[in-house]
Amino acid sequence: MMLKYLLEKEFKQFFRNPFLPKLIVFFPVMIMLIIPWIANMDIKNINVSVVNHDSSSASEDLIHVIESSNYFILGKVTADYDEAMTLLEFGETDAIIEIPAEFEKNLLTTGSSPVQISINAVNETKGALGSNYLTAICMDFSSDFFEKHNMAAAGNINVVSTFNMPKLNVSVQNRYNPYMDYKLFMIPALMVIIVILMGGFLPALNIVGEKEKGTIEQINISPVPKFIFIIAKLIPYWVIGLLVLFLTMLVGYWVYGLWPENGFWTVCLFAVLFIFAVSGFGLIVSNYAKTMQQASFIMFFFILVFMLMSGLLTPLHCMPEWAQYFTIINPPRYFIEMMRVVYIKGGTLHDLWPQFFAHVFFAVFFALWAVLSYKKRD
């Protein structure tokens, strides 16, 4: 059986490579150990400066509330707005809260007082979250204040003078990720990134590497059928991709305590199909490329599109509609959906039939294309 000899060759070449066997172990482990702590959207440590024109006990209380919050670090407290603004411009503070003169007096007499918040929104996420937190703190402050002074919450504090809200007690329950830990969202995504990089890049460089060395001629001149040749190229990356995925899952379990409760076999099933598709895609690129450099750049392009348009980092439903349609033909989209359902919601195959059929389609489609795009003759 020809396939046996070709597989022997591929595995020997892979494990004899001085670099690749180390890469497939160290790369996933390093990414899994380091990136979850870095790629973090939890906003903490926002520097707030206060411009206090009032010097009353109410304004002191408000400053104290901000200071005691986990999210903020209290910076300069001053009576000069321009001074605070200079700090903001030099990036030494992220937000300014300005308390007007006669703040306490107005609150006690009219039941309302404006407070101005200025936020550095260069980092949009930090700006938006920071202003939300600050607003929420002001709300809490006002309700406490009125409670303390036995006043009806008729007016409340006015944030930027137009923010006039009736008081609601909202209680939020975070389902599936109760502590809103961003790592729980990121880790399954990282596993997918690692699988795409390892399972896609390595085969993309393989066939074109044989073209550069000239050894592909010796295969083209032989009676090896195209199908057998491509399968012999696919299977090793399939095995390697699965090993890499299991490695990331083990790190996820040991370090972060994450494990797909009910869905281990679901992950396996989808991974088998997904890696087959991704490696097939890599081989297609390799078939069309003339040099390894070309293949790398083509893969960079597609992997960027794959990642940014798959819901990996930003939710799909936030994209414009045309982009959402585009994600239908993006294979990693389905794999990521599966990983999040299985890892975060504890789902199984029964919740994932559409994703399953998408996987089957892409696996067959890319494998067939890989066979057809490999040309033994010119």
Partner 1 sequence: MEDNVIIAEGLTKCFGTFTAVDHISFSVKKGEIFGFLGANGAGKTTAMRMLCGLSIPTEGKAVVAGFDVETQSEEIKKNIGYMSQKFSLYEDLKVWENIRLFAGIYGVPEKEIAPKTDALLGRLGFEKEKNTLVKLLPLGWKQKLAFSVAIFHGPKIVFLDEPTGGVDPMVRRQFWNMIYEAAERGITVFVTTHYMDEAEYCDRISIMVDGRIEAMDTPKNLKDEFGVESMDEVFYLLARTAKRAE
CA dihedral 130, 135, 140, 145 (to 10 degrees): 130
Find the shortest distance in angstroms from Cβ 241 to partner 1: 22
For residue 182, how far is the Cα from the chain centroid? 9
Q: Binding of partner 1 at residue 135 (CB under 8 A)?
A: no
Contact 108, 149 (CB under 8 A): yes
Size of the site for partner 1 (CB under 8 A): 25
> Can you tell me the distance from the alpha carbon of 333 to that of 341, in angstroms, rounded to the nearest whole number?
12
Q: Interacting stretch for partner 1, rule CB under 8 A, among 10-18, 35-43, 92-100, 267-275?
A: 10-18
Find the shortest distance in angstroms from Cβ 292 to partner 1: 16
Find the shortest distance in angstroms from Cβ 225 to partner 1: 8
- Partnered with residue 158 across adjacent β-strands are 114
Q: DSSP letter at 197? A: I
Contacting residue, 4, 175, 317, 350, with partner 1 by CB under 8 A: 4
- Partnered with residue 72 across adjacent β-strands are 46
Q: Binding of partner 1 at residue 222 (CB under 8 A)?
A: yes
Q: Binding of partner 1 at residue 8 (CB under 8 A)?
A: yes
Find the shortest distance in angstroms from Cβ 378 to partner 1: 6
Q: Binding of partner 1 at residue 224 (CB under 8 A)?
A: yes
CB burial class (10 A; 0-12, 13-18, 19+) of residue 357?
Answer: exposed
Which residues in 338-377 contact partner 1 (CB under 8 A)? 376-377
Find the shortest distance in angstroms from Cβ 377 to partner 1: 5
Contact 333, 310 (CB under 8 A): yes
Find the shortest distance in angstroms from Cβ 224 to partner 1: 6
Contacting residue, 122, 172, 221, 328, with partner 1 by CB under 8 A: 221
What angle do helix axes 264-288 and 353-373 make, rounded to 10 degrees?
A: 30
Which is closer to partner 1, CB of 317 or CB of 377? Answer: 377
Q: Binding of partner 1 at residue 151 (CB under 8 A)?
A: no
Place of tokens 């260069």: 122
Q: Binding of partner 1 at residue 19 (CB under 8 A)?
A: no
Q: DSSP letter at 44? A: -
> Can you tell me the distance from the alpha carbon of 195 to that of 275, in angstroms, rounded to the nearest whole number?
7
Give contact residues for partner 1 (rule: CB under 8 A).
Answer: 2, 4-6, 8-9, 12-13, 16-17, 213-215, 217-225, 376-378
